[in-house]
């Protein structure tokens, strides 16, 4: 008897890169995914490099990854973000799988932005081309901050919303989704079509969130081609954030020369930074002695985190949520746009939620304000 049965036909509408993104988004290694669908890790690698899974195998991959068939279709490739170009705040303590998961979320975020950008004029990327030497010194960082503030027309005095400044200048800013490895604190990269900053979903401290956003901005300005992860690079981004939020020429005469907590609390409210950042800035600028700095940190350690004197709700991204609402109000077929880019609704919702202020808003006049 002749066996006329044939193996299921391979899928001709399949993009292996999208399988890579999906696997990383779910925090799975090739081995873990292979075990779930009953093949070898080599087979998964083959599919991701362009090999065609059978229809039955593709159905198994969809089930294992919790994504519909259309997500894996060809026609709109996703640009992968190399880990070697991403500045993770906690690079050494973060697993490769956790970093890859965060990068996959960023890749899908940039893909959604690319789709939206075809229908709405989003803010253009406005990062000045600042040349810094290989050996970056404090005065180079001060010059870079001054040039950036000139380009962005930022007046003297305290910075308003750091996050909204990033968004207004074309830097895609989101929070990492809940459930992300807590060791993935924040990261930034300009390896995609737009600069991207992802902030921690866990910080409820406004001062810390502002400093984190300014820190990532420092990487985008100072380290476009620098290998990430070194302590030197991270310290340079810290120094950039400190100068951006607490400019030396403006704050040095305001800092107390001995520990004065009531005055430091006033400065905290004025500049929108933490007491710890003010104490460190005082030491870095030579205002506080080593002994005073040690005593101040002992007191801060006793208070713990969060430190006293909260500044209110943290700054949150708003751009993508506002744009989505604008498109819907204008009658644009938002679901159709998602379908054209093979971005499934639940993934898009997660991305937009990560780039939207969760607080309710009250419409007043020509604009709106968040209700705290």
User: Is 366's pLDDT higher than 50?
Assistant: no
Give the rounded percent of residues in the chain with a pLDDT score beyond 90. 70
Q: pLDDT class for 75, splitting at 50, 70, 90?
A: confident
Q: What's the confidence (pLDDT) of residue 181?
A: 81
The mean-pLDDT minimum among 17-21, 65-69, 224-228, 291-295 falls in: 224-228
Q: What is the mean pLDDT of the segment spanning 231-236?
A: 93
Q: What's the confidence (pLDDT) of residue 355?
A: 86
Q: What's the confidence (pLDDT) of residue 301?
A: 96
Q: What's the confidence (pLDDT) of residue 251?
A: 98
The mean-pLDDT minimum among 83-97, 288-302, 337-351 falls in: 83-97
Q: What's the confidence (pLDDT) of residue 358?
A: 67
Give the rounded percent of residues in the chain with a pLDDT score beyond 70. 92
The answer to whether 215 and 90 have CB atoms below 8 angstroms apart is no
Encode pLDDT of 83-139 as tens digits.
888 898 766 667 888 899 999 999 999 999 999 999 999 999 999 989 888 899 999
Q: What's the confidence (pLDDT) of residue 372?
A: 35
Q: pLDDT class for 359, splitting at 50, 70, 90?
A: low
101: Cβ contacts below 8 Å, ≥ 6 apart? 24, 25, 26, 27, 180, 181, 184
Q: What's the confidence (pLDDT) of residue 3?
A: 42
Q: What's the confidence (pLDDT) of residue 96?
A: 87
Q: What is the mean pLDDT of the segment spanning 42-66?
A: 96
Q: What is the mean pLDDT of the segment spanning 284-303?
A: 96
Q: pLDDT class for 183, splitting at 50, 70, 90?
A: confident
Encode pLDDT of 239-268 as tens digits.
999 999 999 999 999 999 999 999 999 999
| Tokens matching residue 181 | 């490895």
Q: What's the confidence (pLDDT) of residue 368?
A: 35
Q: pLDDT class for 6, splitting at 50, 70, 90?
A: very low
The mean pLDDT of the chain is 89
Q: pLDDT class for 4, splitting at 50, 70, 90?
A: very low
């Amino acid at each position: 008897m002749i066996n006329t049965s044939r193996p299921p036909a391979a899928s001709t509408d399949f993009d292996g890169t999208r399988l890579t993104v999906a696997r990383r988004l779910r925090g799975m290694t090739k081995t873990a995914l292979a075990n779930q669908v009953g093949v070898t890790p080599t087979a998964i690698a083959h599919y991701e490099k362009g090999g065609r899974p059978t229809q039955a195998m593709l159905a198994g991959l969809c089930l294992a990854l919790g994504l519909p068939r259309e997500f894996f279709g060809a026609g709109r490739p996703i640009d992968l973000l190399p880990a070697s170009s991403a500045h993770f705040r906690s690079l050494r303590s973060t697993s490769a799988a956790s970093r890859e998961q965060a990068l996959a979320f960023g890749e899908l975020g940039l893909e959604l932005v690319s789709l939206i950008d075809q229908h709405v004029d989003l803010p253009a990327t406005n990062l000045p081309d600042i040349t810094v030497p290989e050996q970056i010194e404090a005065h180079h960082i001060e010059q870079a901050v001054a040039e950036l503030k000139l380009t962005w027309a930022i007046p003297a005095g305290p910075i308003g919303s750091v996050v909204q400044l990033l968004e207004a200048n074309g830097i895609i800013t989101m929070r990492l989704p809940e459930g992300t490895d807590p060791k993935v604190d924040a990261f930034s990269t300009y390896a995609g079509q737009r600069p991207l900053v992802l902030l921690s979903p866990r910080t409820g401290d406004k001062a810390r969130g502002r400093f984190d956003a300014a820190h990532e901005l420092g990487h985008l300005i100072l380290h476009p081609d620098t290998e990430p992860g070194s302590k030197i690079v991270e310290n340079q981004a810290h120094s950039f954030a400190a100068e951006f939020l607490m400019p030396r020429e403006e704050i040095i005469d305001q800092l107390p020369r001995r520990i004065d907590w009531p005055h430091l609390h006033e400065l905290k409210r004025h500049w929108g930074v933490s007491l710890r950042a003010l104490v460190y800035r005082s030491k870095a600028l030579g205002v506080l002695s080593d002994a005073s700095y040690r005593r101040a940190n002992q007191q801060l350690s006793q208070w713990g985190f969060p430190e006293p004197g909260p500044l209110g709700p943290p700054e949150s991204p708003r751009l993508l949520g506002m744009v989505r609402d604008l498109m819907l109000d204008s009658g644009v077929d938002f679901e159709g746009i998602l379908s054209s880019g093979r971005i499934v609704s639940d993934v898009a919702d997660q991305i937009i939620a990560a780039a939207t202020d969760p607080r309710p808003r009250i419409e007043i006049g020509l604009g709106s304000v968040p209700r705290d």
